[in-house]
A = this chain, B = another copy of it.
Amino acid sequence: MSTNPSWNEHSVVEYAKSLDAIDPLRRFRDEFVIDDPDLIYLDGNSLGRLPNRTMKRMEEAVRDQWGGRLVRGWGEHWIDLPNRLGAKIAQLIGAQSDEVLVCDSTSVNFYKLIMAALEVQSEKSEILTDDANFPSDIYLLQGCAKQLSQRLKIVPQAEVASSLGLETAIVTLSHTSFKSGYIHPMQELTAKAHEVGALMLWDLSHSVGAMPIDLNGSNVDLAVGCTYKYLNGGPGAPAFLYVRRDLQEKLLNPIWGWFGQKDPFGFSLDYRPADGIQRFMAGTPNILSMIAIESGVDLLLEAGMDRIREKSVSQTEFLIQLWDNFLRKYGVALNSPTDSVYRGSHVSFGHPQAFQVDQALIEEMKVIPDFRQPDNIRFGVTPLSTSFEDLAQAVLRMSAVFEQGIYQKYPEQANGVT
C-alpha cells in the first residue's frame, strides 16, 4: 500500500468513475432502491439495501398469499420456506442444501447450536472464544456456560490456536470481526479445534454474502449467520443455521418446539426430533420476514460470490488508498488489516472523535457509515450496490468534516444498531 501523490479531489473522483465504468457487476446497482444517488450508504454491513424485487415479492406475499389464500398459503407457499431459503444460502457458504435452515434470530440459533454441542461434549469443560467476537455471542456463551457449568475462556484474537486443549468442548468465533473486519483462517482453526476433539462453530454474520465461504471444504461442524447485512434480507430478518450432515442426528435442539418435531401435525404428546436439519427448528417461522430474504440471496447467486469478493477487495483496497491520501493526516487510524486476505468487506477507521465525525457525516454530509464503540467508524462495502465513486466521495466528505472542524459541534455520546 503506497500513497498515490498525484490524486487530488478532482482526479480521484475521475479515477473512481473509471473503475466503475469497467466494473462487471455495475448493473446490479440498479437492482436496489436508491432514492437519492447523492446519499452515500456505507452501512450495508449493518442493514443491507432493499432490492426492487423484494418490494414486489412482499406485496404479493401480503396481498395475494396471506390476504387471498389465507391459511391455504401454508401448503401452497410457506411451509418449506426455512428449507428452500436454507438451500439457497447453502450455495453461498459451501454447504449441502440439507445442511442449512432459515429460522429464528442469530442469537436464538447460536444458543440452540451451542447448547446442543455442549450436551454431546459434556465430558469436556471449556468454551473458547476471542475478545473480538460479537458481544451478543459472548453474552450467549456466558449464559450457556452458567447453565451447563462450563468455563468460558475469552482470549485475544491471536491466541485462539494456542489456547486450545483437550478440555476445549467448543470453539466459536466470528469469521469476520464486526469491528476490525479481520477474517480468521477458517480451515486452519477448524482443523486445530478438531485435533483436540473440540467442535467448531463459526458466526458468519459479517462474512456471508461478502465473500465465498466453504464450510464443507473446511469440515466445519456448525455455523450461524445473519441475513440482514450483506444478504439484504430486511430489518431483523430471520437468521440461518448450519449443521454438518453427519452431526445432525447426534445433536439435539434444546428448544423442543413443534416445527422441530418429526410430525408436527400429528399432534402426538411425545416429542420425537425430526430427522436431519429440521430438528433445529423451534416455533412457527416468521413468514413475512422470511419472504423478504429471497431476492437478496438470488442477486448474490446471480452475481457470483467470486466476482463479489474480487470487487470487494478492490473496493476496500481503494478505501485504504483513499485513507492514506486524504484522512491519515487528520490522525485517522486504519483499524482493519492491510492484507486483503485477512480483511472482510468493511474498513474501520479509528479516531478519538469518531462518534462526532460519524454524526457529522450523517447529519450534514449525506454519508452513512456506522460507529462502533469506542472510536471506530466503519465504512461497509456492499459490492452489488456500492460504487467506487461512492467511496471516493465519502472519504472526501469525511476529510472536509475534519478540515472544516464540522464534527466539533456534535456531542460526545454514542448509540447505533448493527
Contacts and interface: CB of A to CB of B under 8 A. Distances in A.
Contact of A143 (B154, B256, B290): B256
Contacts of A228: 284
A59 interface: yes
Among A253, A289, A290, which residue has the most Cβ atoms of chain B within 10 A? A289
Contact of A66 (B79, B108, B142, B234): B234
Given A104-B105, A257-B136, A283-B108, A265 B417 contact: yes
Nearest to A238: B286
A144 B372 CA distance: 37
Nearest to A369: B71
A368 B72 contact: yes
B372 A288 contact: no
Contacts of A292: 62, 288
Interface stretch (A47-55, A208-216, A340-348): A47-55
A370 interface: yes
Interface in A270-299: 270-271, 282-290, 292
Contacts of A143: 253-256, 271
Contact of A271 (B67, B139, B239): B139
B234 A142 contact: no
Interface string A367-391: 0101011000000000000000000
A247 interface: no
A266 B136 CA distance: 11
A404 interface: no
Contacts of A271: 138-139, 142-143
Interface string A255-270: 1111101001111111
A266 B372 CA distance: 9
Contact of A105 (B66, B257, B414): B257
A71 B286 contact: no
Contacts of A414: 265-266
A236 interface: yes
Contacts of A139: 256-258, 261, 271
**How many copies of this chain sit in the oligomeric assembly?**
2
Interface string A146-165: 01000000100000000000
Contacts of A235: 65-66, 73-74, 78, 287-288
A101 to B, nearest CB: 14
Nearest to A62: B58
A104 B43 CA distance: 25
A323 to B, nearest CB: 22
A176 interface: no
A411 interface: no
A140 B256 contact: yes
A75 interface: yes
Contact of A142 (B47, B256, B368): B256
Contacts of A65: 235
A33 interface: yes
Nearest to A237: B286
Given A43-B70, A107-B284, 11 more contacts: A35-B67, A41-B70, A55-B63, A66-B234, A104-B108, A142-B256, A142-B271, A144-B256, A236-B285, A237-B288, A266-B373
11 contacts: A58-B58, A71-B368, A75-B417, A104-B108, A105-B282, A107-B259, A135-B258, A138-B269, A142-B270, A236-B287, A266-B414
In the A-B complex, list the 10 residue pairs whose CB atoms are closest, starting with the nearest.
A105-B283, A107-B283, A107-B257, A143-B256, A136-B258, A235-B287, A50-B67, A139-B271, A33-B67, A74-B417
